[in-house]
Amino acid sequence: MANRPLSPHLQIWKWGPHMLVSILHRVTGDGMAIVGLGVLLWWLGAMAGGAGSYATFAEFMGSPIGMIVLVGLSWAFFTHMMSGLRHFVLDIGAGYELDLNKTWSILSPIIAILLTAGFWAVVLLR
């Protein structure tokens, strides 16, 4: 066996906001794929099932639990979008300076929360 260097272990790395944003990006993508697909399929099935089925769907989505699901999905969307935009900027070769990278790693989830709040303010206050 060759004497090759070992990959750094988790104990060596210091946790930073860029790691949180990376993990959130993966979790929100999976959440949207699983939960979002479930809601979409239920919505389509309810529309195909007639007025009674759709009324049941609409009643559940209007309940507190349904609103939590919808707000969670919109938060996941905006978090995933902001993280994706951050990665897009990194992919074109910009934003690798440590301070700038850390700043955008911190601002990315904050902007996503503000976008989620703004989205639901528009939806609910119309």
Residue ranges covered by each domain of the chain:
18-125
Check whether domain 18-125 has CATH 1.10.730.10, yes or no? no
pLDDT attached to residue 113 = 98
Chain centroid to CA 119: 14
Per-residue pLDDT for 10 more than 70?
no
Tens of pLDDT along 87-96? Answer: 999 999 898 8
SS3 67: helix
For residues 70 and 38, give the distance between their C-alpha atoms in angstroms, rounded to a whole number: 12
Picking from 27, 20, 30, 32, the residue whose alpha carbon sits closest to that of residue 104 is 20
Picking from 4, 65, 120, the residue whose alpha carbon sits closest to that of residue 57 is 65
Q: pLDDT-derived band of residue 15, with 50, 70 and 90 as boundaries?
A: confident
